[in-house]
Amino acid sequence: MNCRALKRGTKICGAAIAVFGFALAANAQEAPEDTTPPATSPPASEEQPPAEKLPPCPMPEQAQAPAPIPPPPPAPVAEKKHNIVFAPQEVAITTGAGVANYFGTPTNGTMDPGAGWDARLTFGTRSILALEAAYIGSSNNIDTVSGNHGQVSSNGLDGDFRVQLPYAVQPYIFSGVGYNHMAITRTDSVTLAGPVNNSDDQLTVPAGGGLAGYIGKHTTLDLRGTYRYIPDNGITIMNSRALHQWVAQAHVGYVF
């Protein structure tokens, strides 16, 4: 009895185990699949750029130097104001020539018009007042009443005080004092009529006027008329010793 009962129990247990295993297998086949999508990495734009695309970090010695600081602007230079009354630093040198002659002459003869020339420095070319210093010269032929001939030459220095309009076209007047050395050269063997000295040193008083023009910065043109009074003429020994000279000249010069 017991053996049969044991066998029967064994068979029942085996059948139960088989049924349980079959049920497990069926349950595994009918289980739903997992439809959850696999985790994906975010787009490249949302991530940090790849390491190879980042600019390399500069080394300390390669760091960009700071921009240089520009130097401060130079201090403005004070412009020298032009002195309209007298500006002696404005200098011109001129030279010219023209016609010269004497009148009121006590040389007991007739003088022909001759050449007159000069070279002068002008201080204050574009101001109201100016000063002039000049070398002057002239040469004239003289004919006596007796038909003899000679030549009168003079060389001297003038110092003038000049008043002018300070414009590009500049009318002016002047007056001053000067020195003149006059000499007579005889061209005939017969002496000139009347008592005559060969040379004389004279005090002169020049005066006159003119018109100056400035072209550009450094060029000047000048037309001038001069009356020169010689109060004591010792060339001849006569009652009247005063002598007068007139000169008309054109000049060209350089302005510094």
**Residue 72 vs residue 95, higher pLDDT:** 95
Q: Is residue 195 part of a domain?
A: yes
- Report how far apart, in Å, the C-alpha atoms of 196 and of each of 48, 100, 118, 192, 234 are: 121, 22, 27, 7, 9
Position 13 pLDDT exceeds 60:
yes
44 within a domain of the structure (yes/no): no
Please compute the mean of the pLDDT values over residues 213-226 and round it to a whole number: 95
Q: Tell me whether residue 209 is in a domain.
A: yes
- According to DSSP, the residues that pair with 118 across neighbouring strands are 96, 136
Res. 91: pLDDT tops 80: yes
Cα end-to-end span (Å), the chain: 158
Q: Which of the residue ranges 16-25, 80-89, 166-175, 240-249 would you say has the lowest mean pLDDT?
A: 16-25
The CATH number for 249's domain is 2.40.160.20
pLDDT tens, position by position, 102-144? 987 665 567 889 999 999 999 999 999 999 999 999 999 987 6
> Is the pTM of the predicted complex or chain greater than 0.75?
no
If pLDDT is split at 50, 70 and 90, which confidence band does 190 have?
A: very low
pLDDT at 194 over 60: no
Residue type at position 160:
D
Which residue would you say has higher pLDDT here, 112 or 6? 112
With 0-12 CB in 10 A as exposed, 13-18 as middle and 19+ as buried, what is 143? middle
Of 246, 182, 170, the closest CA to residue 208 belongs to 246
The answer to whether residue 56 sits within a structural domain is no
- What average pLDDT is seen over the chain? 80
In a domain, 175, yes or no: yes
Higher confidence at residue 75 or residue 1? Answer: 75
Q: How many domains does the chain have?
A: 1
Alpha-carbon gap, residue 244 to 230, rounded angstroms: 6
Confidence of residue 57 (pLDDT cuts 50, 70, 90): low
What pLDDT, on a 0 to 100 scale, did the predictor assign at position 84? 94
Domain membership of residue 45 (yes or no) is no
Q: How confident is the model at residue 193 (pLDDT cuts 50, 70, 90)?
A: very low
3-class secondary structure, 45: helix
Q: What is the pLDDT of residue 162?
A: 98
Task: Pick the closest to residue 107 from 247, 226, 239 (CA basis).
Answer: 239
CB 83 within 8 A of CB 103: no
**Residue 143 lies in domain:** 91-255
In a domain, 141, yes or no: yes
pLDDT in the model for residue 241: 79
d(CA 117, CA 100): 9
Q: Which residue has the higher pLDDT, 104 or 256?
A: 256
Span 197-206, average pLDDT: 90
Task: Tell me the two tokens of residue 204.
Answer: 């002169």
Please give the Cα distance from 201 to 182 (Å, whole number).
6
Domain-located, residue 191:
yes
Lowest mean pLDDT among 46-50, 87-91, 117-121, 201-205: 46-50
The Cα 56–Cα 15 span in angstroms is 75
| Cβ atoms 132, 175 nearer than 8 A | no
